[in-house]
Amino acid sequence: MTAPLPLPDGLDWDAAEHRPLVIVGTGPAGFTAALYGARAGLAPLVVQGPAPGGQLTTTTDVENFPGYPDGVMGPELMQDFERQAVRFGAELRWGTVTHVDLSGSPHRLVVDEATPVLADAVIGATGASAKYLGLENERRLLGRGVSACATCDGAFFRDEEIAIVGGGDTAMEEALFLTRFASTVHLVHRRDEFRASKIMQDRVLGHPKVRVHWSTVVTDIRGEDAVSGVVLEDVETGAARELPVTGFFVAIGHKPNTEIFRGWLAMDEAGYVQTHADSTHTDVPGVFVCGDAQDHVYRQAVTAAGTGCMAAIDAERWLAEQDVIDETRTETEYHAAPAEDSETREPVAESEQ
């Protein structure tokens, strides 16, 4: 395991703020954890991180989040999450957790390399970032035709020609998904063969809607207010040509934002935190991780929110077991307890529920 980043010198830990629960990061996972933690009376401190609201703040229309039948703008959805968490007592704070020491209890966190905070329990909701090509217009047109999530945005390009970059299984899966909507999916790959598994290659190569551009890279994206095309360059000859498309998808992978936990938490080769089965527990007692920081399979807002709920429940139970919170019964146990008549407090038979 990689050695953890040492804490900065000169911090006054004796005077540090001490909280029962600190949530690192926001987005659907962090805000949901904050909501559940706040309703459990934990008054969680939420350190928002460098991208408050997470990846959805760069998304326009979100049509697949439950409860919004007409769709919702990504930033608006995250504002709703935030307001709900704050309503019940979560404290949001600007800043980024830059260092952690998870060797003892309470855990030690450093915000913006200067402010020490002690936490009995920590929920990591730092998310993941899609990898992009690094083109200037790629960022400018993000959410206006440029996307890193076919599942999220594919339906906006019905009967249109779109391009996607990548050569692994993820690129194959997303290209096939996009064929449900687009008239043509142009799959651009810099090599003359895919890295994907053979079965996925065969499915893509045999699909009538997919056109593969081998040994080709994207050097620019055209469009003022929306994508109108991409510039392709042959890596062998250097010849450039423009391909008219209305959508551009990047499928070259995601990078989990878990650097601060390196050396402390078990991770896979890609850097996703490994949690225990059917829970958000990590190998460090009192540390829980949710959302895209540990999910490399689904990466959806609704699944991130679900694991945020799980993390808060896991943290609440753990804090109660450690006698950190003075409660005779946690909120989770309340919901699992037998139903009672609201006036007499007598148990209610299942047949009457």
Active site residues: 149, 152-153
Report the amino acid identity of residue 275. Answer: T
Locate 153 and state its tokens.
């945005």
List all residues 6 or more positions away from 99 whose beta carbon is below 8 Å from its beta carbon.
5, 6, 7, 8, 109, 110, 113, 260
Please tell me what DSSP assigns to residue 83: H
Distance CA 32, CA 244 (A): 41
Residue 83 CA from chain centroid, whole number: 19
Identity of the amino acid at 103:
S
114: left (phi over 0), alpha (psi -120 to 50) or beta: alpha
* 3-state SS, residue 281: strand
Structure token pair of residue 151: 């599942």
> CA 118 to CA 129: how far, in whole Å?
27
CB atoms under 10 Å from CB of 278, counted, come to 7
Q: Which residues have CB under 8 Å from 188's CB, separation 6+?
A: 163, 164, 165, 213, 216, 217, 218, 230, 232
For residue 76, the one-letter residue type is: E
- 185: helix, strand or coil: strand
**Cα separation values, 10 from 13, 14, 116, Å:** 9, 12, 10
